[in-house]
Amino acid sequence: WRDPETGEAKDFCGRTHAIKAKERGLVGRSHALEDAVEHVWPTVSPDSEETGSVAMMMRVHPKYEKVKQQFLEAWRHPEKPKPTIMRIYQVRNTPSVYRHYTEHVSTLERAHSFTRKGLTAGNEVRRFHGTTLRPDCRFAVDVRAGPCGGADCPVCAICCGRFNVSRAGTGRLATAAGGRLRYGRGAYFSSVSSKSDDYAAPAAGGGAAAG
């Protein structure tokens, strides 16, 4: 749709749709990384005020089934009921976070030549991280709710900004262990989704948050 007053091309099918999206805090799909997404929310990093976005993947998204299948197949604790995946979101990082990522990938690739070994550049692989929503945050629990943007909401702080190593040791299990970290300060990930789930406390009115 093109606004007849300004001539500006919009991501929405008409003015009414655009107005309703704005009222709900949504932006168009051009703000997302890829197509086949819906409910695109703009994000602002609590650290730098840089912007990004979070979008809910549609089931036809080419990565949706791959992420879902990997998560379910990596659930390896038989004593824990396998969860139902309700929604999968895609994060568009802020420019500085993405720049640091690409620079790090390039550094690793120059040092180890992973692609020559048939691996991805920088040996990038998908892993899981379990964390928690702030009690009053409804993001991902309510399909209409976007990230709360609170620096004290672990899920939204990651989605809107970055993983913050200074938060290491403040999670549910680490706090119970007196802040001790098994492998030292850092951001912890696992190839086993049911292990990452140990660190994800149930959200108010919904399931645990693991990504």
The rounded distance, in Å, linking the Cα atoms of 179 and 121 is: 34
Going by pLDDT thresholds of 50, 70 and 90, the confidence category of residue 103 is very high
Predicted confidence (pLDDT) per residue in 136-195, tens digit? 999 999 999 999 989 889 999 999 999 988 888 777 677 777 767 778 888 889 999 999
3-state DSSP assignment of residue 80: coil
Confidence (pTM): 0.79
Q: What residue ranges do the domains of the chain occupy?
A: 32-210
The answer on pLDDT for 90 being more than 80 is yes
The rounded distance, in Å, linking the Cα atoms of 209 and 85 is: 11
Of 6-10, 55-59, 164-168, 185-189, give the range with the top mean pLDDT.
Answer: 55-59
Tokens (6 digits) for 136: 């009053």
Tokens (6 digits) for 12: 């929405």
Our CA angle for 165, 168, 174, nearest 5°, is 170
State mean pLDDT over 27-35.
Answer: 63
The answer on pLDDT for 54 being more than 70 is yes
Instruction: Select from 2.60.40, 3.40.630, 3.40.50, 3.90.228 the CATH code of 32-210.
Output: 3.90.228
Predicted confidence (pLDDT) per residue in 108-123, tens digit? 999 999 999 999 999 9
The answer on pLDDT for 23 being more than 60 is no
